[in-house]
Homo-oligomer: A and B are copies of this chain.
Amino acid sequence: MSKVFVIAQGGGPTAVINQTVAGAALAARERHPGSKVLGARHGVRGIAGADFVDLSALSEADLMRFANTPNSGLGSTRDKPDEAYCGRILDGLQKLAADAFIYIGGNDTSGTLAILDRASAGKIHFIHAPKTIDNDLAENDHTPGFISAALFVANAFLSVDLDFRAMRGVYIGIVMGRHAGFLTASAATWRRDDTDGPHLIYVPEVPFTETRLVEDIRATVERYGRCVVAMSEGVQTADHKPLAESLIPAHLHERDAHGNLQLSGGDLGLALQEAIKDDLPGVRARVDTFGYLPRGFLATISETDRAEAFAIGGFAVEQSEAGSGSVAQQYAEGKTVLKMVPLDAVANKTKTMPADFLTPAGNHLTETGLAYFRRLLPPRPDVWTPFV
């Protein structure tokens, strides 16, 4: 029986978010010949404003070209709909006679779908398809988009560590991550021993002080002649405020519709650079902000990530026949498996790194932590250890 599927993308783009759209469009075509698959432009905005792309009209080859293109090709939004907005979305879906709405996004997205699901009383099925480079969704072992972003970060830190062996100094790479340190910690995936960088990892899960940073760096430089640091832009002080928040002048604070402070690695970077200049005089110190680079970088899209994100699209279509829910990518008996969980199990929750991923000092990964990243990413490239 032909059906009407609506699909949309919410929140920050990833390198493989279009794979899920293509996977869903192709599964809908196969399972329900003659189905309509409409992509809403800019997430739920496109539904409220009746702004759609007819994905059913695309050839399989075009859908696969779309799939292999990073970043949200339907456009995205950070709108967090209130009740009235949800009413407009429901109206939009009802006008289309939609059978299912598949919304690809993070925990905010799942929250929006939970509201819609309650309001629609079962007439339309709402499926949350996971994605986020932050890897912070409850119920998920890892999320689509994370592995590719992590692959960028791992490549970057291996490369920069080689660079800083050649010319000694301190390097701080600031990586996106507000609450969860997974992406920052992936910097250590290809580390072999304590001599390899990154030598220090600072994540939002562990309270941070500038004093501690300076002492850690000083000790590392004394031991190895250099120090490579991976730091989350969301590192927090003991009072659970982002370090950036206390360091950045108040007039630069900017919050999104969800009340999240817009952090900029650049601001944090400058503050850190000043601290190092003051406290470690004569040490060559450089801070780079990776910012948007990891999340859609064309040259580091993981094949695993592509395949998993594509499969989630098909699974979402299949599961939409039974009811609403959130697709969760879990890990069981040595492999990644998909299952459905309630929308509320994911909505507005944040998964942070398990405590046993981090050393007691909180500035590095344990073997347990390392094993997790090594399971997901490809093996370390075969590079030669410099002669210096």
Residues 113-144 of chain A, each 1 if its beta carbon lies under 8 Å from chain B, else 0 = 00000000000000000000000000000000
**A167 near B76 (CB under 8 angstroms)?**
yes
**Which residues does chain B contribute within 8 Å of A386, judged by CB atoms?**
69, 71-75
Other-chain contact of A166, B72, B162, B273 (Cβ < 8 Å) = B72
**B41 near A73 (CB under 8 angstroms)?**
no
Once bound together, how far apart are the Cα atoms of A292 and B296, in whole Å?
19
> In this assembly, does A105 line the interface, its C-beta being within 8 Å of a C-beta of chain B?
no
Residues 284-300 of chain A, each 1 if its beta carbon lies under 8 Å from chain B, else 0 = 00111111110111111
Other-chain contact of A289, B78, B288, B295, B296 (Cβ < 8 Å) = B288
Once bound together, how far apart are the Cα atoms of A297 and B158, in whole Å?
8
Residues 9-34 of chain A, each 1 if its beta carbon lies under 8 Å from chain B, else 0 = 10011000010000000000000000
Chain A interface, >50% SS class: mixed
The number of chain A residues with a CB under 8 A from chain B is 68
> In this assembly, does A252 line the interface, its C-beta being within 8 Å of a C-beta of chain B?
yes
Number of copies: 2
**B41 near A74 (CB under 8 angstroms)?**
no
Once bound together, how far apart are the Cα atoms of A290 and B74, in whole Å?
27
Once bound together, how far apart are the Cα atoms of A41 and B76, in whole Å?
51
Other-chain contact of A163, B151, B156, B165, B296 (Cβ < 8 Å) = B296
Chain A interface (Cβ < 8 Å from any Cβ of B): 9, 12-13, 18, 39, 41-42, 53, 62, 65-66, 68-78, 151-152, 155-156, 158-160, 162-163, 165-167, 171, 251-252, 254, 264-267, 269-270, 273-274, 277, 286-293, 295-300, 381-384, 386-388
Please name 11 pairs of A and B residues whose Cβ atoms are closer than 8 Å in the assembled complex, sorted by A: A39-B387, A71-B162, A74-B387, A155-B297, A251-B277, A266-B289, A267-B273, A269-B270, A270-B270, A288-B291, A298-B381
Other-chain contact of A159, B39, B73, B296 (Cβ < 8 Å) = B296
**A273 near B266 (CB under 8 angstroms)?**
yes
Once bound together, how far apart are the Cα atoms of A288 and B268, in whole Å?
12
Q: A39-B387, A75-B387, A387-B53 are in contact. Are A158 and B298 (CB under 8 A)?
A: yes
**Which residues does chain B contribute within 8 Å of A286, judged by CB atoms?**
264, 291-292
Once bound together, how far apart are the Cα atoms of A264 and B270, in whole Å?
9
**A298 near B266 (CB under 8 angstroms)?**
no
**Which residues does chain B contribute within 8 Å of A269, judged by CB atoms?**
266, 269-270, 289
**Which residues does chain B contribute within 8 Å of A159, judged by CB atoms?**
70-71, 293, 296-298
**B382 near A163 (CB under 8 angstroms)?**
no
**A42 near B388 (CB under 8 angstroms)?**
yes
Q: Give the Cβ gap from A247 to chain B, nearest Cβ, in Å.
A: 11
